């Protein structure tokens, strides 16, 4: 991994090593002609994390990502990337940020390789002599080396998506932002994106990835931010989110009926289910429930908190949130750049 010294020095020192947050927003808001797309978003992307941005259609994921990258101007709010406020430090910070967003502007009559070379030439972190090598490595990384000389217009949707991903990976990055990177990809392509994200994570690169695919997020991300109607309804470590909706302890025991009786006698709601005894731990702790069982002479073979699965957590978080945002009476102009 090589970076030019001048480019490294260009990023404020706190942004290089000191910060524990790769991206942060405060009160981020975007209004398009009377539609509130993003409303008061306080986002935190911990350094080194893989953060999945989830939300139903129109919840503001793309708008948030485009504001982070300086492609859309916020109506209100503050953004900090790699420890530096943007847009004040955009020129210095963005070279360290790889992005895959819709419409990267590839030329239809140039090959994939020629297109990437044009992008590579604009990368401040790459010196002239590094361009060819960087392009070859990026093509290789996304599985496009064999189709590198074909014209972009002859690429399938999946290949176009891979080329966009390659452009995000042209130079060494500290943060990689991917908006729906598996769009248009077949299962093998989806698997490759998963591998690329895992590889970035292993190298310590922070990744922010939006996706509709809950299974994808569950498999690849360490953290999640859930948006609904322009508002963050949950964010944090994936494990915490999965456990937040599951106040249930699942107990395996050969004495199911006796276990239920013992728990109910101790005023702990429980019922027998095919997978074991389901104990509602909303008003108690797992330790108390287990102590109650053991105290009653019930053999406990295993006890574990039940994980809801992201699908259930997502449904819970994005339903019945109410009409938090909607049409504004005001007449704020569209501000896309
Ligand atoms: N350029 C624009 N002009 C006007 N309204 C817009 C514009 N871009 C987005 N919106 C509106 O802002 C809201 C949020 O859209 P956004 O694309 O950010 O959501 P999203 O979560 O990325 O959706 P999807 O998952 O469908 O891509 C939607 O109501 C959308 O119609």
Q: Which of 62-71, 72-81, 139-148, 319-328 has the lowest mean pLDDT?
A: 319-328
Task: State the Cα–Cα distance between residues 109 and 152, nearest whole angstrom.
Answer: 6
How much of the chain exceeds pLDDT 70, in percent?
A: 87
* DSSP label at residue 100: E
CB atoms within 10 A of CB 136: 14
The answer to whether 181 and 165 have CB atoms below 8 angstroms apart is yes
* DSSP label at residue 145: G
Task: State the Cα–Cα distance between residues 137 and 154, nearest whole angstrom.
Answer: 22
Q: Is the CB of 213 under 6 A from ligand 1?
A: no
What pLDDT, on a 0 to 100 scale, did the predictor assign at position 130? 87
Best residue among 29, 34, 35, 54 to mutate for probing ligand 1's pocket (most ligand atoms within 8 Å of CB) is 35
Best residue among 30, 41, 61 to mutate for probing ligand 1's pocket (most ligand atoms within 8 Å of CB) is 61
Best residue among 30, 38, 55, 58 to mutate for probing ligand 1's pocket (most ligand atoms within 8 Å of CB) is 58
CA distances from 162 to 125, 185, 207, 289 (A): 21, 8, 17, 51
Structure confidence by residue, pLDDT tens digits, 102-124: 765 899 999 999 999 999 998 88
What's the whole-number average pLDDT of the chain? 84
- Does residue 329 have a pLDDT over 70? no
What pLDDT, on a 0 to 100 scale, did the predictor assign at position 246? 58
Q: How far is the CA of 154 from the centre of ligand 1 (A)?
A: 29
Q: How far is the CA of 225 from the centre of ligand 1 (A)?
A: 17
Structure confidence by residue, pLDDT tens digits, 260-307: 999 999 999 999 988 899 998 888 999 999 999 999 999 999 999 876
Closest listed residue to residue 172, CA positions, set 336, 337, 8, 6: 8
The answer to whether 7 and 93 have CB atoms below 8 angstroms apart is no
Q: Is the CB of 336 under 6 A from ligand 1?
A: yes
Question: Phi/psi at 287 (nearest 5 deg)?
Answer: -60, -45
The answer to whether 306 and 266 have CB atoms below 8 angstroms apart is no
Sequential DSSP letters for 247-259: -EEEEE-S-HHHH
Please tell me the pTM assigned to this model. 0.76
Task: State the Cα–Cα distance between residues 64 and 37, nearest whole angstrom.
Answer: 9
List the residue whose alpha carbon is closest to atom 16 of ligand 1: 60
The answer to whether 160 and 147 have CB atoms below 8 angstroms apart is no
What pLDDT, on a 0 to 100 scale, did the predictor assign at position 13? 39
Structure confidence by residue, pLDDT tens digits, 11-35: 443 333 444 899 999 999 999 998 9
Reduce the DSSP state of residue 114 to 3 states and report it.
Answer: helix
Q: How far is the CA of 57 from the centre of ligand 1 (A)?
A: 8
What pLDDT, on a 0 to 100 scale, did the predictor assign at position 104? 59
Q: In CATH, what is the architecture of 5-238?
A: 3-Layer(aba) Sandwich (3.40)
What pLDDT, on a 0 to 100 scale, did the predictor assign at position 2? 30
Task: State the Cα–Cα distance between residues 46 and 55, nearest whole angstrom.
Answer: 19
Is the model more confident about 25 or about 328?
25
Does the complex come out with an ipTM higher than 0.95? yes
Reduce the DSSP state of residue 108 to 3 states and report it.
Answer: coil
CA-334 nearest atom, ligand 1: 3
Best residue among 63, 323, 334, 337 to mutate for probing ligand 1's pocket (most ligand atoms within 8 Å of CB) is 63
Q: How far is the CA of 30 from the centre of ligand 1 (A)?
A: 10
Q: Is the CB of 334 under 6 A from ligand 1?
A: yes
5-238 and 247-306, same CATH topology: no
Is the model more confident about 329 or about 109?
109
CB hemisphere CA count around 265 (13 angstroms): 10
Q: Is the CB of 35 under 6 A from ligand 1?
A: yes
Q: Is the CB of 37 under 6 A from ligand 1?
A: yes
CA-212 nearest atom, ligand 1: 25
List the residue whose alpha carbon is closest to atom 11 of ligand 1: 37
Mean pLDDT calculated for residue range 247-253 = 90
How much of the chain exceeds pLDDT 90, in percent?
A: 55
Direct distance between the N- and C-terminal alpha carbons of the chain, in angstroms, rounded to an integer: 33
- All residues at 6 or more sequence positions from 114 whose CB lies less than 8 Å from its CB, including other chains: 107
Task: State the Cα–Cα distance between residues 53 and 46, nearest whole angstrom.
Answer: 13
Q: How confident is the model at residue 215 (pLDDT cuts 50, 70, 90)?
A: confident
List the residue whose alpha carbon is closest to atom 18 of ligand 1: 60
The answer to whether 62 and 102 have CB atoms below 8 angstroms apart is yes
Q: How confident is the model at residue 250 (pLDDT cuts 50, 70, 90)?
A: very high
Q: Where are the domains of the chain?
A: 5-238, 247-306
Q: Is the CB of 32 under 6 A from ligand 1?
A: yes
- Burial grade of 110 (CB within 10 A; 0-12, 13-18, 19 or more): middle
- Does residue 7 have a pLDDT over 70? no
What pLDDT, on a 0 to 100 scale, did the predictor assign at position 188? 83
> The domain 247-306: what is its CATH number?
3.30.70.100
The answer to whether 87 and 20 have CB atoms below 8 angstroms apart is no
Q: Which of 85-94, 169-178, 192-201, 312-321 has the lowest mean pLDDT?
A: 312-321
CA distances from 132 to 27, 116, 120, 244 (A): 42, 9, 9, 48
Mean pLDDT calculated for residue range 178-196 = 86
CA distances from 107 to 114, 158, 163, 214, 260 (A): 9, 16, 12, 33, 67
What pLDDT, on a 0 to 100 scale, did the predictor assign at position 313? 75
Q: Which of 80-84, 134-138, 321-325 has the lowest mean pLDDT?
A: 321-325
Q: Is the CB of 62 under 6 A from ligand 1?
A: yes
């Amino acid at each position: 991994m090589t970076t030019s010294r001048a480019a490294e020095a260009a990023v404020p020192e706190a942004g290089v090593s000191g910060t524990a947050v790769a991206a942060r927003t405060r009160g981020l808001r975007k209004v398009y002609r009377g539609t509130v797309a993003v409303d008061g978003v306080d986002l935190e992307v911990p350094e080194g994390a893989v953060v999945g941005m989830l939300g139903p259609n129109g919840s503001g994921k793309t708008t948030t990502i485009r504001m982070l990258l300086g492609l859309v101007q916020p109506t209100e709010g503050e953004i900090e990337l790699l420890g530096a406020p943007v847009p004040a430090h955009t020129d210095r910070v963005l070279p360290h940020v790889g992005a895959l967003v819709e419409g990267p502007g590839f030329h239809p009559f140039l090959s994939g390789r020629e297109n990437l070379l044009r992008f590579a030439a604009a990368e401040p972190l790459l010196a002239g002599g590094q361009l060819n090598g960087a392009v070859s490595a990026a093509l290789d990384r996304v599985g496009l080396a064999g189709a590198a000389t074909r014209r972009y217009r002859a690429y399938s949707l999946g290949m176009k998506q891979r080329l966009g991903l390659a452009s995000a990976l042209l130079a060494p990055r500290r943060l990689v932002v991917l908006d729906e990177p598996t769009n248009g990809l077949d299962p093998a392509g989806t698997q490759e994106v998963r591998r690329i994200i895992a590889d970035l994570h292993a190298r310590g690169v922070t990744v922010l990835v939006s996706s509709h695919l809950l299974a994808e997020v569950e498999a690849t991300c360490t953290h999640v931010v859930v948006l609904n109607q322009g508002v963050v309804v949950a964010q944090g470590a994936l494990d915490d989110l999965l456990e937040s909706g599951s106040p249930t302890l699942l107990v395996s025991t050969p004495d199911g009926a006796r276990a239920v009786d013992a728990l109910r006698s101790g005023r702990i709601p429980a019922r027998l289910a095919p997978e074991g005894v389901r104990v509602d731990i909303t008003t108690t702790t797992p330790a108390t429930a287990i102590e109650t069982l053991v105290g009653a002479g019930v053999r406990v073979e295993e006890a574990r908190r039940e994980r809801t699965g992201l699908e259930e957590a997502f449904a819970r978080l994005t339903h019945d949130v109410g009409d938090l945002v909607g049409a504004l009476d005001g007449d704020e102009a569209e501000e896309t750049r």
